[in-house]
Amino acid sequence: PRKERVSPKPIKPEHFRRLLDAVEDEPKWKAMFLLALNGAMYPSEVAAVKRSDIDLDAGTLSMERGKTGVPRVAVLWQRTIDAIREYQSAKPHESEYVFVSQTGAPFSDNHVSRNFCKRRDAAGLPKTVQFAHIRDRAYSAAYNAPGVGEKEAKVLAGHKSGMTDHYVVRSPSVVAAACAAIERHYLGDTARPVVLEALT
Protein backbone atom coordinates (compact mmCIF):
# COMPACT_ATOMS: atom_id res chain seq x y z
CA PRO A 1 0.00 0.00 0.00
CA ARG A 2 1.07 3.57 -0.65
CA LYS A 3 2.62 5.24 2.38
CA GLU A 4 0.78 8.12 3.97
CA ARG A 5 2.18 11.47 2.85
CA VAL A 6 4.48 13.05 5.43
CA SER A 7 3.20 16.45 6.48
CA PRO A 8 5.43 18.26 8.98
CA LYS A 9 3.69 20.90 11.08
CA PRO A 10 6.32 23.36 12.31
CA ILE A 11 5.44 25.58 15.25
CA LYS A 12 5.36 29.27 14.35
CA PRO A 13 8.22 31.35 15.76
CA GLU A 14 5.80 33.74 17.45
CA HIS A 15 4.03 30.77 19.08
CA PHE A 16 7.31 29.44 20.44
CA ARG A 17 8.21 32.84 21.85
CA ARG A 18 4.84 33.04 23.59
CA LEU A 19 5.40 29.56 25.00
CA LEU A 20 8.81 30.60 26.25
CA ASP A 21 7.35 33.70 27.89
CA ALA A 22 4.76 31.52 29.63
CA VAL A 23 7.48 29.44 31.34
CA GLU A 24 9.82 32.29 32.23
CA ASP A 25 9.34 31.47 35.92
CA GLU A 26 9.58 27.70 35.41
CA PRO A 27 13.30 26.91 34.92
CA LYS A 28 12.74 23.24 34.11
CA TRP A 29 10.32 23.82 31.28
CA LYS A 30 12.18 26.80 29.92
CA ALA A 31 15.34 24.69 29.75
CA MET A 32 13.50 21.73 28.24
CA PHE A 33 11.77 23.74 25.51
CA LEU A 34 15.00 25.53 24.58
CA LEU A 35 16.99 22.30 24.47
CA ALA A 36 14.32 20.62 22.34
CA LEU A 37 14.43 23.46 19.82
CA ASN A 38 18.22 23.80 19.95
CA GLY A 39 18.71 20.08 19.28
CA ALA A 40 15.65 19.42 17.06
CA MET A 41 14.19 16.90 19.52
CA TYR A 42 10.90 15.10 20.04
CA PRO A 43 9.46 14.78 23.59
CA SER A 44 10.94 11.32 24.13
CA GLU A 45 14.35 12.50 22.94
CA VAL A 46 14.65 15.53 25.19
CA ALA A 47 13.42 13.42 28.12
CA ALA A 48 16.22 10.91 27.41
CA VAL A 49 19.08 13.44 27.59
CA LYS A 50 21.57 12.46 30.30
CA ARG A 51 23.96 14.68 32.21
CA SER A 52 26.82 12.87 30.50
CA ASP A 53 25.42 13.84 27.09
CA ILE A 54 25.95 17.56 27.60
CA ASP A 55 29.03 19.64 28.30
CA LEU A 56 27.86 23.05 29.45
CA ASP A 57 31.38 24.46 29.59
CA ALA A 58 32.07 23.50 25.97
CA GLY A 59 28.48 24.23 24.93
CA THR A 60 27.86 20.89 23.24
CA LEU A 61 25.51 17.91 23.21
CA SER A 62 26.55 14.45 21.99
CA MET A 63 24.28 11.42 22.33
CA GLU A 64 22.72 8.55 20.45
CA ARG A 65 19.17 8.81 19.21
CA GLY A 66 17.36 6.15 21.19
CA LYS A 67 15.04 5.12 18.37
CA THR A 68 17.81 4.37 15.87
CA GLY A 69 21.08 4.41 17.80
CA VAL A 70 22.41 6.98 15.32
CA PRO A 71 24.64 9.62 16.96
CA ARG A 72 23.30 13.17 17.18
CA VAL A 73 25.19 16.31 18.15
CA ALA A 74 24.40 19.97 18.74
CA VAL A 75 26.11 23.21 19.61
CA LEU A 76 24.18 24.70 22.52
CA TRP A 77 23.10 28.32 22.45
CA GLN A 78 24.21 30.47 25.35
CA ARG A 79 20.56 30.91 26.31
CA THR A 80 20.15 27.12 26.44
CA ILE A 81 23.22 26.75 28.63
CA ASP A 82 21.99 29.50 30.95
CA ALA A 83 18.53 27.92 31.20
CA ILE A 84 19.90 24.46 32.04
CA ARG A 85 22.21 25.91 34.67
CA GLU A 86 19.34 27.90 36.18
CA TYR A 87 17.23 24.74 36.36
CA GLN A 88 20.05 22.71 37.91
CA SER A 89 20.60 25.41 40.51
CA ALA A 90 16.90 25.76 41.33
CA LYS A 91 16.12 22.02 41.35
CA PRO A 92 19.27 20.01 42.14
CA HIS A 93 18.95 16.22 41.90
CA GLU A 94 21.13 13.11 41.65
CA SER A 95 19.56 11.48 38.59
CA GLU A 96 21.70 10.63 35.58
CA TYR A 97 19.04 12.34 33.46
CA VAL A 98 18.93 16.11 32.98
CA PHE A 99 15.17 16.46 33.44
CA VAL A 100 13.23 14.70 36.18
CA SER A 101 9.77 14.87 37.72
CA GLN A 102 9.02 16.18 41.21
CA THR A 103 9.62 12.65 42.52
CA GLY A 104 13.05 12.53 40.90
CA ALA A 105 12.03 9.99 38.25
CA PRO A 106 12.97 10.47 34.58
CA PHE A 107 10.23 11.88 32.37
CA SER A 108 8.38 9.77 29.82
CA ASP A 109 7.43 11.24 26.45
CA ASN A 110 3.75 11.24 27.51
CA HIS A 111 4.58 13.14 30.69
CA VAL A 112 6.52 15.74 28.67
CA SER A 113 3.70 16.09 26.15
CA ARG A 114 1.02 16.48 28.84
CA ASN A 115 3.00 19.18 30.58
CA PHE A 116 3.62 20.90 27.26
CA CYS A 117 -0.13 21.02 26.63
CA LYS A 118 -0.75 22.67 30.01
CA ARG A 119 1.76 25.39 29.23
CA ARG A 120 0.55 25.75 25.65
CA ASP A 121 -2.96 26.41 26.96
CA ALA A 122 -1.65 28.87 29.54
CA ALA A 123 0.09 30.75 26.73
CA GLY A 124 -3.18 30.95 24.81
CA LEU A 125 -1.90 28.94 21.85
CA PRO A 126 -4.14 26.81 19.60
CA LYS A 127 -4.68 23.24 20.79
CA THR A 128 -3.37 22.08 17.43
CA VAL A 129 0.13 23.10 18.52
CA GLN A 130 2.06 20.03 19.73
CA PHE A 131 5.51 19.49 21.24
CA ALA A 132 6.60 17.57 18.13
CA HIS A 133 6.06 20.74 16.09
CA ILE A 134 9.06 22.29 17.85
CA ARG A 135 11.25 19.59 16.35
CA ASP A 136 9.62 19.95 12.93
CA ARG A 137 10.35 23.68 12.78
CA ALA A 138 13.90 23.30 14.07
CA TYR A 139 14.73 20.69 11.44
CA SER A 140 13.05 22.73 8.68
CA ALA A 141 14.83 25.93 9.73
CA ALA A 142 18.21 24.19 9.68
CA TYR A 143 17.55 22.31 6.44
CA ASN A 144 16.43 25.43 4.56
CA ALA A 145 19.00 27.89 5.95
CA PRO A 146 21.53 29.35 3.50
CA GLY A 147 24.92 27.78 3.97
CA VAL A 148 23.55 24.72 5.79
CA GLY A 149 23.44 21.49 3.86
CA GLU A 150 21.32 18.37 4.10
CA LYS A 151 24.14 16.52 5.88
CA GLU A 152 24.33 19.08 8.69
CA ALA A 153 20.56 19.00 9.24
CA LYS A 154 20.57 15.20 9.37
CA VAL A 155 23.46 15.07 11.83
CA LEU A 156 21.65 17.52 14.11
CA ALA A 157 18.44 15.50 13.99
CA GLY A 158 20.18 12.16 14.49
CA HIS A 159 19.38 10.83 11.04
CA LYS A 160 21.54 8.52 8.97
CA SER A 161 23.61 10.47 6.47
CA GLY A 162 25.36 7.73 4.53
CA MET A 163 28.12 5.16 4.85
CA THR A 164 30.31 7.61 6.80
CA ASP A 165 28.05 7.06 9.82
CA HIS A 166 29.96 3.83 10.45
CA TYR A 167 33.42 5.37 10.29
CA VAL A 168 33.31 9.05 11.23
CA VAL A 169 32.76 10.44 14.75
CA ARG A 170 30.19 13.20 14.55
CA SER A 171 31.60 16.47 15.88
CA PRO A 172 29.33 19.21 17.24
CA SER A 173 31.26 21.73 15.13
CA VAL A 174 29.63 20.17 12.05
CA VAL A 175 26.24 21.52 13.10
CA ALA A 176 27.28 24.91 14.50
CA ALA A 177 25.82 26.78 11.51
CA ALA A 178 22.61 24.73 11.63
CA CYS A 179 22.08 25.47 15.33
CA ALA A 180 22.77 29.17 14.79
CA ALA A 181 20.26 29.24 11.93
CA ILE A 182 17.52 27.78 14.15
CA GLU A 183 18.14 30.40 16.83
CA ARG A 184 18.06 33.24 14.31
CA HIS A 185 14.84 31.92 12.79
CA TYR A 186 13.06 31.69 16.14
CA LEU A 187 14.60 34.47 18.19
CA GLY A 188 15.78 36.92 15.56
CA ASP A 189 18.07 39.78 16.45
CA THR A 190 17.96 38.86 20.13
CA ALA A 191 19.97 35.72 19.41
CA ARG A 192 23.35 35.54 21.12
CA PRO A 193 26.38 33.85 19.54
CA VAL A 194 26.63 30.10 19.99
CA VAL A 195 29.45 28.80 22.14
CA LEU A 196 32.25 27.44 19.96
CA GLU A 197 35.00 26.72 22.47
CA ALA A 198 36.45 23.21 22.68
CA LEU A 199 34.86 22.03 19.42
CA THR A 200 38.06 20.98 17.72
Write down the pLDDT at residue 189: 52
Write down the pLDDT at residue 166: 42
Task: Report whether 154 contacts 40 (CB < 8 A).
Answer: no
pLDDT along the chain (200 residues), means of 10: 50 91 96 94 92 95 76 91 97 94 88 94 94 84 74 72 47 83 77 43
Q: What is the pTM for the complete model shown?
A: 0.82
Write down the pLDDT at residue 195: 45
Express the helix, strand and coil content of the chain in percent, nearest 5 each.
50, 10, 40
